[in-house]
Chains A and B, each alone.
Chain A
Amino acid sequence: MLRLPCPYCGLRDEPEFAFGGPSHIIRPTLEATDAQWTAYLFNRDNPLGVHYERWAHAYGCGQWFNVARHTATHEILAVYRMGDPKPALEAGAAR
């Protein structure tokens, strides 16, 4: 079970949250090539390591926020607001 620190409500258990997939996916402009559009729609970094992702506190305040989480250890490395840039995590912050 994950325990996520909602920036508005504090630390809560995983069943209160809804997962929203990767953050920072940028929609290409209308001039995008087919390859760029395909990559935008389908390709995912899917890292073994730090994953920047969106969560909603669905059964709480209802707010969306970003989380940096390690995909093998599930360690929560950073929590930041929607629209904020990726936090610069120190190299080796997570193995």
Chain B
Amino acid sequence: MQGYSLWQVVGQALRGNKGWQPAWRDPTPKSGYDVIVIGGGGHGLATAYYLAKKHGIRRVAVLEKGWIGGGNSGRNTQVVRSNYFYPASSAFYDHSLKLYEGLTRELNFNIMLSQRGQIALAHSEHELEINRRWANAVRMNGIDAEVLSPADIQKIVPIINLNSRFPVVGGFIQRRAGISRHDAVVWGYARAANALGVDIIQNCEVTGFDLKDGRVRGVTTSRGNFAADRVVMSVAGHASVLAQRAGFVLPITTMALQAMVTEPLKPVLNTLVMSGAIHAYVSQSDRGEIVIGGGADVYNSYAQRGGLPAMHVTIGAVLELFPSFSRLRLMRQWAGRVDVSPDTTAIMGRTPVEGLYINCGWGTGGYKAIPAGGDTMAHTVATGTPHPLIARFGLDRFGAGALIDEGAAAGVAH
């Protein structure tokens, strides 16, 4: 692998930038692999990387229907945080945040992590009580959180309008939360996995599974059939479609979640601001765009576009908090297909088909989970037993009633 460094940049510049190599190969698929990962998003690529890096399994293919990072990995709002309520969630997400903190060095690819903090706003005394309880739970889980007064918030975010229609009465901050560049995470994992021998096969749609005696033996694709005894499905919004092809039904609903960016402007917002009550979150990217997200469209959707009603609610909420943004024009608006589970916690681990593993149900918050999702799935597939951090995230938790209901605590009400 061609290392990326200042010396490399200077050296290449002196040679007219003619010596750069592709960051990953476009390999001819082999007839079989030890592990096949379906889905070339962040989770799939990270799973392949950790399989090769930590478990020495290098005959791995990542099959991607379109191009890598073209789904939700390139459509999210780049938020990383670990301020979750339940111990099982916060342990997982903090593992993820810690991996993010070292990821630029680990992958030799600048993911532009900026830990600028995330403020969750409270708009009533009752919500402030809930925020205090949430912040205390986060601290009990060993993760940083501080309750803020309105004056504290105004100091951190001078342009916020605290006397909005639903006045801001306080909030709390996780200072280690932040944003990073989502394309860099995808490309960094792809390049590092490729260097360890992983085949990244794009424009390759999985059309079915080769099943025998309740076991997976391989997959059929638009580019031929590949044999593998272990297959990981990591396809977000299409999880139900693939599961159906393998013969089982999932507790997943696919919805469109929108995000949008304004025209770029000079730095005005140096943290993430999130409001669960009026349902919006805002940050400013390094390019100067105001990045805006909110709630999902309410109905089932496999369209990678959202409707105006959901966008209207989100924009209305943002303009109440930041009236000065009313002068900005939106540059782009898009949506991703999010796979929402009944308790808004991910579904990871075994499936009814032996050898077929699933990683789905991330719903509206999969980006922050990429490093830990890959790490724990790789462990689960390599050893055959669920990684301790995801032992409670299995598909069997629904029948057992052992839900992890992060719906209210996940940051934005779903």
Contacts and interface: CB of A to CB of B under 8 A. Distances in A.
B6 interface: no
A45 B308 contact: no
Contact of A19 (B241, B249, B299): B299
A34 B399 contact: yes
Interface in A17-69: 18-19, 22, 34-35, 38-39, 41-48, 51, 53, 69
A66 B62 CA distance: 40
B398 A46 contact: no
A47 B252 CA distance: 10
A72 interface: yes
B309 A1 contact: yes
Interface of B: 238, 240-241, 249-254, 298-303, 307-309, 342, 398-399
Contacts of A74: 301, 303
The list of the 9 closest CB pairs from A to B, nearest first, reads: A42-B251, A46-B240, A38-B399, A43-B249, A72-B302, A19-B298, A42-B398, A19-B299, A71-B302
A35 B399 contact: yes
B252 A38 contact: no
Nearest to B241: A48
A48 B309 contact: no
A15 interface: yes
Contacts of A46: 240, 250, 252-254, 300
Contact of B250 (A1, A43, A51): A43
Which of A1, A53, A73: most chain B CB closer than 10 A? A1
A42 B342 contact: yes
A82 interface: no
Contacts of B307: 1-2, 14
Question: What DSSP secondary structure best describes chain B's contact surface?
Answer: mixed
Contacts, number: 61
A69 to B, nearest CB: 8
A71 B301 contact: yes
A72 B254 CA distance: 11
B398 A48 contact: no
A44 B302 contact: no
Contacts of A51: 300
Chain A: interface residue count, which band? 20 to 34
B214 to A, nearest CB: 16
A73 B256 CA distance: 12
Interface of A: 1-2, 14-15, 18-19, 22, 34-35, 38-39, 41-48, 51, 53, 69, 71-74
Given A43-B250, A43-B251, A47-B240, A53 B300 contact: yes
Contact of A44 (B252, B301, B303, B308): B252
Contacts of B298: 18-19
B244 to A, nearest CB: 8
B309 A44 contact: no
A48 B19 CA distance: 45
B303 A72 contact: yes
A68 B119 CA distance: 41
Contacts of B303: 71-74
B302 A48 contact: yes
Among A47, A48, A73, the most chain B Cβ lie within 10 Å of the Cβ of A48
8 contacts: A42-B398, A43-B249, A43-B250, A46-B254, A48-B241, A71-B301, A72-B301, A74-B301
Contacts of A41: 342, 398
Contacts of B342: 41-42
Contacts of A18: 298
Given A34-B399, A43-B251, A44-B252, A1 B300 contact: no
Most buried by B among A2, A18, A22, A43: A43
Nearest to A2: B307
Given A2-B307, A71-B301, 15 more contacts: A14-B309, A19-B298, A38-B398, A38-B399, A43-B249, A43-B250, A44-B249, A44-B252, A46-B253, A47-B240, A48-B238, A69-B299, A71-B303, A72-B301, A72-B303
A43 B361 CA distance: 13
B131 to A, nearest CB: 29
A44 B299 contact: no
A88 B272 CA distance: 49
Contacts of B253: 44, 46
A39 B302 contact: no
Nearest to A22: B300
A38 B249 CA distance: 11
B251 to A, nearest CB: 4
A53 B299 contact: yes
A45 B249 contact: yes
A2 B301 CA distance: 12
A44 B240 contact: yes
